[in-house]
Structure 1
């Protein structure tokens, strides 16, 4: 091959490699864009987000970080559908791949999400354990501008747990800290649904504290953040919260109007918990306004949805117990291994001690035998001299 042909060959090879590298980078840049867009679909059309996540899992062969992100996307979408059994299944898939990833921020995200998942399953001790682990990882992460969203979620979920275990006053303090962190994030579209959820839960706290005014303000603000990103299920939850305030204040017609708006929004989401609460609220308010036919229709729908939820909760509890059982089994195996290693160590130590004393006794025996021989020689020598 002459010099000119060599130059042409290496030029074509370099261009080919550069083109392949560019296409490779563009392909994963496209996946990033798809993940962001799908993340915004979670509270609008969770089924579509699940399909997108499943497609990314197939496309991300050889790129473990994208597989983890896709599994988390699917898990988040199932959580939005209140199917915590499936959500946990895909989160476990993501967690199993973490050791293959070098992305520390991604690890924080998955550990944080695991804490959130256990909160949703009402396994609060495990939730706090993972939230503490995530907070430790966050404190060690060098780029503080990148962890506002994760720290915000961490504080907010702690607030939700403290609402159940401690008091609403403590819960609101943590929720406010979480919202403040979320607002520092550059991902404005991504944090709007999270802020909506946080403020909605603040509204529920104010209801428990008998502060209807602040509760209504919170629900209206929650609806505003939900509308910003067209998060229909979250807007429906906020309307349901407002309807509860109206019901408590005897404004039944306003409550019915808000609940029907919520039902219209929730029809595209199929959130059983949300639908249950809406049908229950409608039944109560139609009863209060003597609209018997509407009361009976919504009461029947409430009972049907309630049954579906109980069936799903039994499955979720079974899954949660299954996870606990696997953890206990792993701990038992670990303890058994430690016990056997300890036995082996003690056996080896005992053998060494026996060998040590055997060598000492043998050596002393030889020394005694030598002394005896010396005495015998000396005695014979004296007998001969005598």
Structure 2
């Protein structure tokens, strides 16, 4: 009987821990699911992530969820909402989060600014991230992973700045590093993105064979990651390669595959690219009807994209204004403190001087009285 009661008590004591462990495992699975849906179903990824925020308490995990939400909005090309969440993430940099979390936050901010073509801000955050990476042990996985990721993002910036040679020097070793990692969707997605950008560097240099090789890699890894949008981007790039070489029919064949993959994807930049190259192909083939059709699709897509970008720029300006106001307020407070200190010192000095003057007068008066009494005597 006694042992039975003890067993029951143990069950009650262990039950909360088991439930807690089960909840943690369930949250991990949800987070993993949201990450898998990041590119192809960003809305669903956002919904899952926001539900996780209701139960999550640790700053590190909150930061990870914010970054996931921000990246999901980037996938939707809703830069305004993405910026909102990444700024909330940046607030956690001053909290007691792990160094690796800080690195990931800075990387995400860097990518955010890179997406907005604010390259100086992007590079600034990447430099901060790199400095933190250097504090980790030389053979640490997170150190090497993030250093290569940082270089790859720098490569994307250099490519955008029309410096393909510098970009290639960043991409090649980074891609090689990611290829040596374990096969998993996250790594495959990174390889696909970076190979796509590397291919465009070779395309800009008119090295069409190398461009094709890397577009092929981008297609392969995009497909293996299970991400339709990345696969579609890679097909779009391959089509661009053929278009540049005036093989318009081949280009259109590949674009048709890209358009099917992109059908249910909310990435406006992807659709913009597909519509633009398709339109240009039909223009080259003198197919005016289809040219006009895709030109209209392109116009509408660009309008949506510009509206989104305008909102994000407004938010960025507001955030910068808030940051300026905070700094100004801080400066004013510091100035006020300095003023108080200075005036306190001045008043104290005046009081000391006044006391000395009064003491001096008192001594003079005493001496005068003594002298007077001596003269009288």
* TM superposition score normalised by structure 1: 0.89
Q: 1:166 to 1:244 in 2, by over 3 A?
A: closer
2:128 aligns with one of 122, 127, 133: 133
Higher relative contact order (CA 8 A, sep 6+): 2
Matched, 1:35 2:31: yes
Structure 2 unaligned regions, length at least 5: none
Matched, 1:362 2:358: yes
Count of aligned pairs between the two proteins: 376
1:124 aligns with one of 119, 122, 141: 119
Matched, 1:372 2:365: no
Aligned runs of 1:289-304 on 2, under 5 Å?
289-304=285-300
1:244 aligns with one of 240, 255, 258: 240
Matched, 1:85 2:84: no
Q: CA deviation at 1:9?
A: 6.0
8 Å contact kept, 2:110–2:123: yes
Q: CA deviation at 1:180?
A: 4.1
Q: 1:275 to 1:164 in 2, by over 3 A?
A: closer
**Counterpart residue number, 2:55:** 59
1:280 aligns with one of 272, 276, 279: 276
8 Å contact kept, 1:151–1:181: no
Q: CA deviation at 1:378?
A: 3.1
The residue matched to 2:38 in structure 1 has which SS?
A: coil
1:94-134 Cα shifts (integer Å, max 9, x gaps): 33455555433222212221121122122222222222222
Structure-2 separation of matches of 1:352 and 1:10: 73
Structure-1 separation of matches of 2:41 and 2:205: 34
Q: CA deviation at 1:273?
A: 1.2
The residue matched to 2:54 in structure 1 has which SS?
A: helix
Structure-2 separation of matches of 1:70 and 1:41: 14
Structure-1 separation of matches of 2:62 and 2:181: 24
Structure 1 unaligned regions, length at least 5: 382-386
8 Å contact kept, 2:191–2:221: yes
The residue matched to 1:368 in structure 2 has which SS?
A: helix
Q: 1:89 to 1:187 in 2, by over 3 A?
A: farther
Q: Pairwise CA RMSD of aligned residues?
A: 2.3
**Counterpart residue number, 2:65:** 70
Structure-2 separation of matches of 1:229 and 1:295: 33
Q: CA deviation at 1:24?
A: 0.7
Structure-2 separation of matches of 1:257 and 1:313: 31
**Counterpart residue number, 2:211:** 215
Larger Cα-atom Rg: 1
Aligned runs of 1:314-333 on 2, under 5 Å?
314-333=310-329
* TM superposition score normalised by structure 2: 0.91
